[in-house]
Amino acid sequence: MRDVTALLDRPARTAVVDTVLRDNPELTEDLAGRIVDEAVKFVAAAAGSPEPLAPSRVVDEGWHALILHTRTYRQLCDKVGTFVHHVPQAPDPERRDPEALTRTQERIVKAGFTVDDALWLAPYDQSIPVAASCQHSDDGGPIVIIPKPKG
């Protein structure tokens, strides 16, 4: 199995974990670290995926934190071979692709990582409260998160 430290070194990871903790003070450092690691796996899987993927609400929190560290995020995207864009929209249950989380977890495994199943909660599951509250739209890039509205 692949290790995320090949994509995100310890000092960079610590900085991103600190951002997650600053935005979510109720989380433990261990949980914030797991969220960041899963976000790195998501970016790696999304970069190589020909099919629609989506982060869980919890993993999206780690992705948001990664993006705020622009140099770190750029280096991560360089390592995975493409820049993975983030195009948020307000959450809307009508646009949700129910299979997207399962597909994403399968792509993470296919990319050589293990999945931290506890962090892949359905959008309505608030058992791990985080600040992230968005869905993602298709911007024509390597990630197609939700189906485009018809019409």
Residue-number span of the structural domain to which 48 is assigned:
4-136
- Tell me the C-alpha distance between 62 and 106, whole Å: 19
Residue 148 falls inside a structural domain: no
How many folded domains does the chain comprise? 1
The pLDDT mean for the chain works out to 85
Residue 119 falls inside a structural domain: yes
Residue 98 falls inside a structural domain: yes
Residue 58 falls inside a structural domain: yes
What is the token pair recorded at 79? Answer: 């390592």
3-state secondary structure 71-95: HHHHHHHHHHCCCCCCCEECCCHHH
Among 93-97, 132-136, 141-145, 146-150, the range scoring the smallest mean pLDDT is 146-150
Residue 83 falls inside a structural domain: yes
Contact residues for 74 (Cβ-Cβ < 8 A; gap 6+)? 83
Residue 130 falls inside a structural domain: yes
- Tell me the C-alpha distance between 35 and 100, whole Å: 18
Residue 150 falls inside a structural domain: no
**pTM of this structure:** 0.85
Q: What is the pLDDT of residue 23?
A: 94
